[in-house]
Amino acid sequence: MDRVSSTMKQVSNPLPKVLSRRAGGGGLEAERESFERAQTVSINKAINAQEVAVKEKHARTCILGTHHEKGAQTFWSVVNRLPLSGNAVLCWKFCHVFHKLLRDGHSNVLKDSVRYKNELSDMSRMWGHLSEGYGQLCSIYLKLLRTKMEFHTKNPRFPGNLQMSDRQLDEAGENDVNNFFQLTVEMFDYLECELNLFQTVFSSLDMSRSVSVTAAGQCRLAPLIQVILDCSHLYDYTVKLLFKLHSCLPADTLQGHRDRFLEQFRKLKDLFYRSSNLQYFKRLIQIPQLPENPPNFLRASALSEHISPVVVIPAEASSPDSEPITDLVEMDTASQSLFDNKFDDIFGSSFSCDPFNFNSQNGMSKDDKDRLIEQLYGEIAGLKEELENFKAESTRGAVQLRGRASELEAELAEQQHLKQQAQDESEFLRTELEELKKQREDTEKAQRSLTEIERRAQANEQRYSKLKEKYSELVQNHADLLRKNAEVTKQITVARQAQGDVEREKKELEDSFQRVSEQAQRKSQEQAEVLETLKRELAASRQELQVVQGTLESSTQAGAEQNTRIASLEQERDRLSQAAEQHRDEMAALQAELQQLQDTLSREQENSRTELETLQTQLRDKESTERALQQRLAEEQLSLLQGTAREAERMVQDALTRMEDPAHISCTGSADCLLSRTLAASECAERLRDAHSKYLSDGAAVGSLLPCLALFAHLVSDTLLQGSATSHVAPVEPADRLLELCKQCGSAAVSYLSALQDPGTVASADCSLVTACLGQISTIGEELRPRGLDVRQEELGDLVDKEMAATAAAIETASARIEEMLSKARAGDTGVKLEVNERILGSCTGLMQAIHVLVLASKDLQREIVESGRGAASPKEFYAKNSRWTEGLISASKAVGWGATVMVDAADLVVQGKGTFEELMVCSREIAASTAQLVAASKVKADKDSANLCKLQQASRGVNQATASVVASTKAGRSQVEEKDSMDFSSMTLTQIKRQEMDSQVRVLELENQLQKERQKLGELRKKHYELAGVAEGWEEDAAD
């Protein structure tokens, strides 16, 4: 009987369930809830953290769900709750499922997914920072999905699976070659992303092992099926579009398209070949093979040879998880027939018709006792069915509660992770706050140091009265101010960066807190709903148990004949009661665990809220501190500007005062130096105007204004003093105009600097009047400027080369003449005279050789200077641009050539006995001075580290040694001659000696008087020579530069 009862229970149980489910699910809301539940389960099973390939049946359920609801709202609502940023495998499987939905899902999937495009981009950048595992794969896959969404958004005619006919492809371009051109470029980009994912997946696998048969390898290879499907269509369409473009555009225009297609063709062919050899793809997809050679787009008939690659997916074998579900009503009928057959085998066919018809067996009529037994059997069968139902429902409830507990544990772990992140961010903000405090202390120290410096500056100004010492102190103060300004500017930059970081972290914390609050509220509501459901189920279970107990109690009062059977039923009842009690205990334990989880979640939320408030308070304190620092910095910058402008005004005022000083009247200057100072002051005024504009637009740019302000005052003061000095040597009328313009320029500069000191007039301060006055001063300076050499500037380059060549030729000629004189002396002279002449001419020859070496070194250095300084200009343009320096070179070259010629003439006269030794020594010294002038002229524009400059200096020292040798040889020769011609007074009388003595004294006096006059004449000649050379060759200008 127990077997019969269990069989009846198994057969008669499913039908009421199906009927009750169908009767209860008629409403739209219930159907929607059931659909969302089924979709949630399928999506969670498809997208999980296990490193296995996505099951096809779960992905197919997701695709059918999008067609059912005509969109992807349910998909995204479930996906948004998944921790995609915390698990790379989970993100990889999400990309795979989402790729399937974009291809095979409803057309509205793209519209519902466009809003999440930025989130996908952020996730792609985040995973791109990982170089191992699935990090790079997820980053590239997310870029591919974003590119696919953008492509289908721009080209809505293309379906998600990219299947189009040739006519539809032509309609997509609207018969416009520009559209076809742009569409081809977009397809190239699309295909490039597909190939990047293809190559990255292959490079991440160890191809030396059979990775395609492992679960991890299949997890990485599974998405490539969708990539192969996309690539086959994209390749086909690009080939057709390129043939169409080549029929409309020149081949040269499409060269870039052909090169890009060729590169992608090679990659795609290689990847298709490698994929076709993998065992995993052989049973799932038939991959086409591309032709051996790419299509020839330059031949229009090649289009007929093109064969579109077709990817074949074989029919899938039926699997247990993909078999359709049999109708429950039909199953019930089959189960009923099976039960009847088994019943006939046990009790016979007649008994199966009426199993409880005891009259047909013994012929006895039913009495009350039989009816009671039949009634008890029926009640026992009903009780067993209800108990089994209760047991099944209890089991399902326990499973659901365990699953819910697992979900709550996962959420608790996620909340703990968020808490840890918040703690890390709080620690980072505390560190930033400590750094800001240190920076504030440094700023206060800098302020105290700046105050001390200003106090010292004032004391020094009162202590020193002379202009030169005051100017040195101003320069020192200006340097200190620049260093402090650089430090303050650096602190501003650091403070701004810290403020930006704090604002960004504040926004992130607010967003994180908002998400945590929303999730906590949502979880609390769901937990409350689950708890209410469990309470209702527990109450129903208790009522059913009471009914069962009542029924069992009534059955125990039945007849005594059934005591044995009733006892067995009571044992079964006790067993079921124990099971119910165990279920009740499990329910209580689960409720306690649920309550504990709720308490833990509440504490975590409270702690997070407290920490967030603390961080917000710290952020507000930090912002107020930064505002105070910025205000203090602005005040310090204004103070720096006022102090610098005050010192600059004092400098200009001192220059104006010196112009009226009688001691300055004796100072003179040249127009060239005035022009150079005026030009420098004008350029500085332009830079000052630009720096002033930048300061008005951005107060932090005071660092560029202060140096310009100090330099402006320095150059204007120099210009005023140089203009006053130039007016002292100029004609009366230009001198008066020049002096008046200098005073106007000084007054305008003082007015401008005074305006910079007043915060109300800083914006309106203008130095254009100073610039105008400087221009007028420059005009007068041009009028007073001497013309220099009567050579045009374009001829200076040729003249330099000519003079250097003439100098070298003169030295060679002088050397030849000295050799000739030495030969003659050896042929015609003997004794002491020959010895003296050979020594003098030998030293002269050495001097000529040293001068020759110096001239060659000067040429090399001059060539280096021209090459390094001319840039893109020609040498002639460089000489014309540096005309003063060029004229100095010409003058020095002429002096060297002339000195060599004069010295040879003097040596010739000395050898012939017609000249004096003193004339030869003076000539040698003069030629040494001329070579020194040439060295100085060449050294002006040379680099101090130049190798040619070192050679020139060494050659100059050689000339000095050779000159000393000539002088020494001359003196030695003169001594020998004087010893030879020694005076003999032995034959003279006393009167003759007295007469000679008186004549000698007269001669001495005459010579001393003549020597004094010659020395005065020499001094005047040298003074006039230096004045003329300075004006003509721009020595003053070079010295000023």
Encode pLDDT of 415-454 as tens digits: 777 777 777 777 777 777 787 778 778 777 777 777 777 7
The pLDDT of residue 5 = 39
* Spatial contact of 812 and 852, defined as CB atoms under 8 Å apart: yes
Copy the structure tokens of residue 664.
């300055």
Q: How far is CA 980 from the centre of its chain?
A: 90
pLDDT exceeds 80 at position 75 = yes
What region does 661 belong to: left with phi over 0, alpha with psi -120 to 50, or beta? beta
Burial 220-250 (b: 16+ CB within 10 A, else e): bbbbbbbbbbbbbbbbbbbbbbbbbbbeeee
pLDDT exceeds 90 at position 530 = no
The pLDDT of residue 141 = 92
The pLDDT of residue 350 = 39
The pTM score is: 0.35
Helix (H, G, I), strand (E, B) or coil at 151: helix
The pLDDT of residue 193 = 93
pLDDT exceeds 70 at position 859 = yes
Rounded Cα–Cα distance for residues 1040 and 1030 (Å)? 12
Is 521 buried (19+), middle (13-18) or exposed (0-12) by CB count in 10 A? exposed
Tell me the CB-side half-sphere exposure of residue 146, using CA atoms within 13 A. 17
Rounded Cα–Cα distance for residues 861 and 64 (Å)? 87
Q: How far is CA 181 from the centre of its chain?
A: 33
Closest CA to 257 of 268, 244, 270, 269: 244
Rounded Cα–Cα distance for residues 531 and 516 (Å)? 22
Structure-model confidence comparison of residues 806 and 154, the more confident one: 154
The string of pLDDT tens digits covering residues 767-793 is 888 888 888 888 888 887 655 444 444
pLDDT exceeds 80 at position 268 = yes
The pLDDT of residue 370 = 81
The pLDDT of residue 876 = 65
The pLDDT of residue 289 = 86
Q: In which band, very low, low, confident or very high, does the pLDDT at 562 lie, cut at 50, 70 and 90?
A: low
What are the phi and psi torsion angles at 694 (to 5°)? -65, -40
Q: Which residues pair with 286 in a beta bridge?
A: 312
715 CB neighbour count, 10 Å cutoff = 20
What region does 85 belong to: left with phi over 0, alpha with psi -120 to 50, or beta? alpha
The pLDDT of residue 655 = 84
665 CB neighbour count, 10 Å cutoff = 12
Structure-model confidence comparison of residues 380 and 698, the more confident one: 380
If you average pLDDT over residues 142-155, what whole number do you get?
Answer: 92
pLDDT exceeds 90 at position 99 = yes
What are the phi and psi torsion angles at 892 (to 5°)? -65, -40
pLDDT exceeds 80 at position 223 = yes
pLDDT exceeds 50 at position 334 = no
Helix (H, G, I), strand (E, B) or coil at 28: helix
If you average pLDDT over residues 527-549, what whole number do you get?
Answer: 70
Q: In which band, very low, low, confident or very high, does the pLDDT at 351 lie, cut at 50, 70 and 90?
A: very low
Lowest mean pLDDT among 570-584, 785-799, 843-857, 1011-1025: 785-799
Q: Which of 43-57, 165-179, 504-518, 717-731 has the highest mean pLDDT?
A: 43-57
If you average pLDDT over residues 153-166, what whole number do you get?
Answer: 89
Rounded Cα–Cα distance for residues 763 and 696 (Å)? 7
If you average pLDDT over residues 997-1021, what whole number do you get?
Answer: 82
Copy the structure tokens of residue 381.
């069968």
The string of pLDDT tens digits covering residues 13-37 is 333 333 333 334 446 888 888 888 8
Those residues whose C-beta lies under 8 Å from the C-beta of residue 844, and which sit 6 or more positions away, are: 818, 903, 904, 907, 924, 966
Q: In which band, very low, low, confident or very high, does the pLDDT at 459 lie, cut at 50, 70 and 90?
A: low
pLDDT exceeds 70 at position 364 = no
Q: Which of 227-236, 503-512, 676-685, 747-756 has the highest mean pLDDT?
A: 227-236
pLDDT exceeds 60 at position 120 = yes
DSSP symbols for 741-765: HHHHHHHHHHHHHHHHHSTTTTTT-
* Spatial contact of 99 and 226, defined as CB atoms under 8 Å apart: yes
pLDDT exceeds 60 at position 648 = yes
Rounded Cα–Cα distance for residues 858 and 811 (Å)? 14
Helical (H) or strand (E) element with 306: none
pLDDT exceeds 70 at position 925 = yes
The pLDDT > 70 percentage for the chain reads 76
Helix (H, G, I), strand (E, B) or coil at 70: coil
Count of residues for the chain?
1041
The pLDDT of residue 952 = 78
The pLDDT of residue 478 = 67
Given the structure tokens 């008890």, which residue do they identify?
Answer: 376
Those residues whose C-beta lies under 8 Å from the C-beta of residue 630, and which sit 6 or more positions away, are: 492, 495
Tell me the CB-side half-sphere exposure of residue 601, using CA atoms within 13 A. 24
Helix (H, G, I), strand (E, B) or coil at 873: coil
Those residues whose C-beta lies under 8 Å from the C-beta of residue 185, and which sit 6 or more positions away, are: 257
* Spatial contact of 648 and 709, defined as CB atoms under 8 Å apart: yes
Rounded Cα–Cα distance for residues 653 and 717 (Å)? 8
Q: In which band, very low, low, confident or very high, does the pLDDT at 3 lie, cut at 50, 70 and 90?
A: very low
The pLDDT > 90 percentage for the chain reads 9
Give first-to-last CA distance, the chain, whole Å: 125
Helix (H, G, I), strand (E, B) or coil at 573: helix
If you average pLDDT over residues 905-917, what whole number do you get?
Answer: 71
Rounded Cα–Cα distance for residues 886 and 37 (Å)? 95
Rounded Cα–Cα distance for residues 1040 and 1020 (Å)? 25
* Spatial contact of 229 and 64, defined as CB atoms under 8 Å apart: no
Structure-model confidence comparison of residues 508 and 465, the more confident one: 508
Rounded Cα–Cα distance for residues 804 and 1008 (Å)? 41
Given the structure tokens 């015609």, which residue do they identify?
Answer: 828
- Compute CA distances 415 → 521, 583, 597, 982, whole Å: 13, 31, 12, 122
Q: Which residues pair with 322 in a beta bridge?
A: none
Helix (H, G, I), strand (E, B) or coil at 618: helix
If you average pLDDT over residues 902-928, what whole number do you get?
Answer: 73
Helix (H, G, I), strand (E, B) or coil at 312: strand
If you average pLDDT over residues 522-546, what whole number do you get?
Answer: 70
Rounded Cα–Cα distance for residues 142 and 316 (Å)? 29
If you average pLDDT over residues 220-227, what whole number do you get?
Answer: 90
pLDDT exceeds 70 at position 326 = no
982 CB neighbour count, 10 Å cutoff = 6
The pLDDT of residue 94 = 92
pLDDT exceeds 80 at position 542 = no
The pLDDT of residue 826 = 72
What are the phi and psi torsion angles at 82 (to 5°)? -90, 140
911 CB neighbour count, 10 Å cutoff = 24
pLDDT exceeds 60 at position 1037 = no
The pLDDT of residue 545 = 66
Structure-model confidence comparison of residues 210 and 41, the more confident one: 41
Q: Which of 83-97, 607-621, 906-920 has the highest mean pLDDT?
A: 83-97
Query: Dihedral through CA 106, CA 108, CA 112, CA 115, nearest 10?
Result: 120
The overall average pLDDT reported for the chain is 76
pLDDT exceeds 70 at position 204 = yes
Q: What sign results for the dihedral spanned by CA atoms 98, 102, 103, 108?
A: positive
If you average pLDDT over residues 371-393, what whole number do you get?
Answer: 85
If you average pLDDT over residues 895-902, what whole number do you get?
Answer: 73
